[in-house]
Structure 1
Amino acid sequence: MHTEFQQTRRAALIAVAATLAACGGGSGDGEAPPEVGQVINSTMKSAFNGSTYPIQVFLPQAYATGTTTLPVIYATEGDAQYGGPNISRFDTFKAVMQRLGTQAILVGIGGTAWRGIDFLMPGAAKYLDFIVKELVPAVERQYRADPRRRALSGLSHGGYFVVAALILEARAGVAPSFSHYLSTECSVGEHTSPAGVLAFEKQIDGKPLPTTLFLAGASGGNHPLVSIPLFNQMASQSLPGLVMHKAEYNTTHVGADVPAFEEALKRFVS
């Protein structure tokens, strides 16, 4: 059943370079934008699941001369390959931010090889602990990061993880760790159908949820099958403080990632 709701990732990524160009993922003349800003590479080992994650941090050009705190975008699957061995999800998002002049910090979380464990329950709970209790505090100690403006982004199984993160904290009675949650092409996760996702989410009906959730995807992908029913169910519930948005794009499963990210930047960060 999973294959009904999630395209084969390898095949999608082979063709994604052309898709991203059509979606505005590159500069207007087809060339990569100039390097503006700074990228810091490191690794972090989690005490929660024992995995070591490559971490990339992009600081916009204005960071070096400024004094204000900046919003932070945490992008899962930062090392996922987008159309070639030297183009990752982190690189693609960084290029979008450079082109738009977005004044925010981008944190790419590597470890795509463990997506089948980290993004799905029960592993998602430990992965969330790693991000919220280890990575986020480290970023906020080292950089001028605004703790009131944090965004979490994920695609496909990563999009499911974004939703699961929101549900796990609400179910535990914990305030959302992020001000914005961007779930693109949400999969059914460890469930066998969208009904399983809806039942999982239904556990938090009536819980306070002071945050923003953006559900986005492709018209021919997971979006109409998973995200739209999820949006409709959550919109009908009592979730005090929750602001919801949805967007649909005429593109592919992976191709929806860039336009969704661009829209999130323009609406929630800029």
Structure 2
Amino acid sequence: MDRRTALLALGAATALAACGGGGSSSEPPPEPVGQVFSSTIKSESNGATYAIQVYVPQSYATGTAALPVIYATEGDALYGSGTTPTRFDTFKQAMQTRGTQAILVGIGGTVTRGTDFLLPGATRYLNFIAKELAPVIERQYRTDPKRRALSGLSHGGYFVIAALVLEGQAGALSFSHYLSTEASYGGHGSTAALLAYERQLDGKPLPATLFLTGAGTGANNVGIIKPLYEQMRAQNNPGFTLVNADYNASHVGADLPAFEDALKRFFP
């Protein structure tokens, strides 16, 4: 067992208690039980240490199927303040509610989002996720390496797009699904500059799905995501699936419905 595997193996496993019970048929059914494993891992790509949370569904303990893995950036980000659940907690609850048969990996490090999500730091951060973290997860858990998803919000949504551009140019995609919500234009300075950056993918084979989502009439959706969607829709990318959806929500508020929609579409 190598050092990174050991770090995850030594993570504390915490069972998620079932809710409900009792004899009344009017009571809601118990919440599905799963497990969360917590650990830290130091990246060789950028030298940073990240808190990692891994959720496995109830079926994992007794099943034999290899499960898809969803990598959620900013797993430690709070949806508000105080005791508001984190992005990881919120996504985990959505998966429990739907009974989604997938593994969720929450990656901490919200405090370094300004470095990790934007170029040139995004290249090193992508290498950490794809070449360091994912192999550890796949050694430690029963996963399907052909079904990996990468999820990000705002600057994180931009990072998902940047990851697709970086890997598409290299001709080696690490993920089957790229889930980008309320993407910013990152460090490019304008939508036009982002579009010029993405245009490098025109003509490249992209055997993956990009799920571009936004908040209705919000500035990011109207000014960034829609123009990006229209440009990418007009490009020639063999094997590529491009899906766009809008939600009547705020910038941060669009994140959960977009994730729930992704679960319904891609991980039923």
Structure 1 residue runs of 4 or more that deviate by more than 4 Å after TM superposition: none
Q: SS in structure 2 opposite 1:203?
A: helix
Of 70, 75, 78, the residue aligned with 1:78 is 75
Rg larger in structure: 2
Which residue of structure 2 aligns with residue 248 of structure 1? 246
In structure 1, stretches of 5+ residues that fail to align are 1-30
Give 2:140's aligned residue: 142
Partners of 1:58 and 1:81 in 2: CA distance: 18
User: In structure 1, how many angstroms separate the alpha carbons of the residues matched to 2:192 and 2:230?
Assistant: 13
Q: Which residue of 2 aligns with 1:90?
A: 88
Cα shift readout 1:10-29 (whole Å, capped 9, x = no counterpart): xxxxxxxxxxxxxxxxxxxx
Map 1:56-205 to 2 at 5 A. 56-86=53-83, 87-174=85-172, 176-205=173-202
Shift of 1:34: 4.1
Where does the alignment leave 5 or more consecutive residues of structure 2 unmatched?
Answer: 1-27
Counterpart position of 1:262: 260
RMSD of aligned residue pairs (Cα, Å) = 1.3
Deviation at 1:82, TM superposition (A): 1.4
Question: 1 CA distance for matches of 2:81 and 2:33?
Answer: 22
- Greater relative contact order (Cα < 8 A, sep 6+): 1
Amino acid at match of 1:261: F
The percent of aligned pairs where both chains have the same amino acid is: 66
Aligned counterpart, 1:48 = 45
Contact persistence 2:31–2:97 (CA under 8 A): no
Indicate the residue corresponding to 1:218 in structure 2: 215
Task: Give the letter aligned to residue 254 of structure 1.
Answer: V
Output the amino acid matched with 1:203: Q
> The residue matched to 2:214 in structure 1 has which SS?
strand
Tell me which amino acid in the other structure corresponds to 1:259.
P
User: In structure 1, what is the Cα distance between the partners aligned to 2:234 and 2:121?
Assistant: 29
Take 2:137 and 2:178, find their aligned partners in 1: how far apart are those partners?
18
Query: Following TM superposition, by how much is the alpha carbon of 1:253 offset from its aligned partner in structure 2, in angstroms?
Result: 0.2
**Partners of 2:147 and 2:82 in 1: CA distance:** 32
1:90-140, Cα deviation, whole Å (9 max, x unpaired): 000001001111110000000000000000000000000000000000000
